[in-house]
A and B are shown apart, each in its own frame.
Chain A
């Protein structure tokens, strides 16, 4: 097991803190690390894709789980996979796709670990049908504060606290997943443009149930009548028989090629409002008004940005803040107000995504609630951004909504209980299972989780 002292941040590259990083190769090493972690506790970390400070532990221990990366069994008949928590979704796709299986849920990057996916209870473009990641977990092994390993199954309080629990109930060591059957690695993508926000909400409400994957890119720089204009992309897996002859020869091949990394220093001039406006204009005008049945490879559809490693550097030296919130059905007015406020403020953002959520998940700190979720990246250096986001928080909380904790790096702690009604259950379960505070992170300190 290697040990070193490192300065860590989330994917947004804000608020660095230093911790002792352990890289356990076996469950025993992980258990020994947790038992000997000292007063500042420990937290598991995967590939560092959480945007905020969920996988940092200032002055304490951080368990880098990426060395625990064995896929233990695959049942090619039923799609049941048992793997270590440090296995990435990228690796799972490489192994599973040739066998005709696909991960049940994938976010916009496939470089997340299975443990991280459960800890953050990630959702993808199929949330409205398939729910979030932990809904497809049949069983997991959890290393608890005392250093013993417990098997946790859905339906128990510990499972609901662990799914979306940001690693604060213990270290997830392995998981049993149920995968999704596919016959090709191609997607059939339908694209349409929505002229404004109301148009977009109508289209999402009317047609989402017909597609397995659906989300909309929304232009938050557009103002006036065009506020909320968007490009809606929805897709299905293509059955093998529907592929063109050439693609049918290797229907399940999955070899996404990485491009060179983003440069370490991006000129600040490229990050301002004018380039964002230009980019958004081109993206909106460049999208077809209506197109159906476009064939795209899996990686191109789900993870376009994974082709550019280190793309988070493009946010500039000060890093970025990801703001993601959800409000329930019936709160469209609040959503409209927030979208109008963001677009009036002229925030330089060009990757905002609106998604219609289906049923929520039982995880106590799980993010999805039935309704609407909007996510956007903002440069952290933007003057006055802290107060602006605080005022958006008030609006979200007032509408009974919530912000996503896995992406948060700046929420006002007082609002948390209003956003997550099961927070007190989570706190009391932690107090009972982990009275000594063996599991802590910067996020848990900041929000007193």
Chain B
């Protein structure tokens, strides 16, 4: 050994820029090394990715479904409709008179008359009970007026119109069709809350699963950690590869979640458009989109880091050379 090599030991107290480069180098090294380890155990890693993917796909898939349902029902919000069921024994002529009278009101945009004969024909065509209905002695359906209020009429004013119309002697019952829509909206809000709660639980699950996976890989490399600490590896140095392992598991899980959601949507696409065609709608399923998929990857990565952090802070400090 020459004298200059001994002086090298003094130079090993590195400058700030050298230390930054060293830090960067070790990040690159840890990232590559942990990716290698994840890919080397491909079957085990695939399992982990799938578990995380499924756990993330569930709430995300439900959320996408709810988005689509919201999209679909947005078209139904207004105008609402009041159904007037007329009393029995009214002939078509008096119904026509009633139609004209109601149409004349300022707060009504339009009235559509469905005669009991038309209603029976439609019902037997759509319900599949044609035979049963044909065997009935008389038509059980009443005449129906569908009243559409003007668009400016909202909330309680619509209800006011409904009760005014209900008081007319020809009318047996007046039903505001808004009600089912309001119910639908509250059901959707409830569902959204449920999805959020399930999502929160599953996210917690993902973090714990990843934490446990990282804990196992820490246990597997216990001897290595001891040796690295013996020759002067700091806690951040030892921690880094495990954090990257968590990151790779999380990002992979996010990828599989995006894949699962896209596959499910693709699987549902043709029946949904068939159904939409039956309702004369051109509704199409809205997918995750590029941003949604990217967000899943990022979310997965963050969850992976969180899980790994949980594991390393709990288990790494406890491993000391003895």
A and B: bona fide binding partners:
no
Q: Which residues of A contact B (CB under 8 A)?
A: none
Q: Which residues of B contact A (CB under 8 A)?
A: none
